[in-house]
Amino acid sequence: MAILSVESLDARHGLLQAVRGVSLSVAERETLALVGANGAGKTTLLRTIAGAHRASGGRIVFDGADITALPAHRRARRGIALVPEGRRLFAGMTVEENLLVAGGRGAGGEWTLDRIVETFPQLKAKLKARAGDLSGGQQQAAAIARALMTNPRLLLLDEVSLGLSPVAVDGVYASLRGLLGGGATVVLVEQDLARALRIADRVVCLLEGRIAYEGAARGTTREQVMRAYFGLRGAAG
């Protein structure tokens, strides 16, 4: 059963329509990867699902309830957590303080400080460090960990590897594999197509705000996605 259903969703930035009639669903414990060129609408779609951007048409249904008109904080209480592009940690606070602030807003659950340190070992020695002093990879791990402290039912990850060194990306993805192995439900925006296909159950490619390709990650080739990425015919799965 789908925990998230997006139905004919539209979203705009002024006169620019960034998301055009997108319909998709995400089942519990599934990982869906969103790929596409810059400006394809990936970030706007995630932000609209999370309530950080207003939908201009269509519906968003979460756990059987229409949440299209709900503000972001009420969606968060229902169990939707967004890790935004750029991470946006409280730079002057310690890593531990960032995590505990988020944990205080959660409904309680399996994600505690101890489990976070187990899942993200790169943070263990950095709990008392200022978040602004961390490396890019450590900041990304802390941003994901902060979202998990709310014990979400749906985790939205925007541009996980953006701006990180290959070594830092490897570290973040090593932690993500443990997270996904534990049954998390994730929608992931990722520019690295090879990593997206390896980690996801399904992949959706957006082109100019529309779905150009959708298919099981295991049966999807790089060539299929790249044809969709550039709007070439014969890309549909």
How far is C-alpha 147 from the chain's CA centre? 10
Q: Are strands 80-83 and 210-216 parallel, antiparallel or unpaired?
A: unpaired
What pLDDT sits at residue 5? Answer: 98
Phi and psi (nearest 5°) for 27? -85, 160
2-229: CATH architecture: 3-Layer(aba) Sandwich (3.40)
E-assigned strands of the chain? Answer: 2-13, 16-27, 31-35, 55-62, 65-66, 80-83, 154-158, 186-189, 202-207, 210-216
What pLDDT sits at residue 159? Answer: 87
Nearest to 216 by CA among 190, 197, 195, 192: 197
Domain residue ranges of the chain, discontinuous segments joined by +: 2-229
Residues 48-102: tens digit of each pLDDT? 999 999 999 999 999 999 999 999 999 999 999 999 887 789 999 999 999 998 8
pLDDT band at 234 (very low <50, low <70, confident <90, very high): low
E strand or H helix at 56: strand 55-62
Q: Cα(127)–Cα(33) distance, rounded to whole angstroms?
A: 30
Q: Cα(102)–Cα(92) distance, rounded to whole angstroms?
A: 15
Q: Cα(216)–Cα(120) distance, rounded to whole angstroms?
A: 28
pLDDT at residue 29 above 60? yes
**In a 3-state reduction of DSSP, which class is residue 174?**
helix
Residues 175-224: tens digit of each pLDDT? 888 888 778 899 999 988 999 999 999 999 999 999 999 999 999 999 99
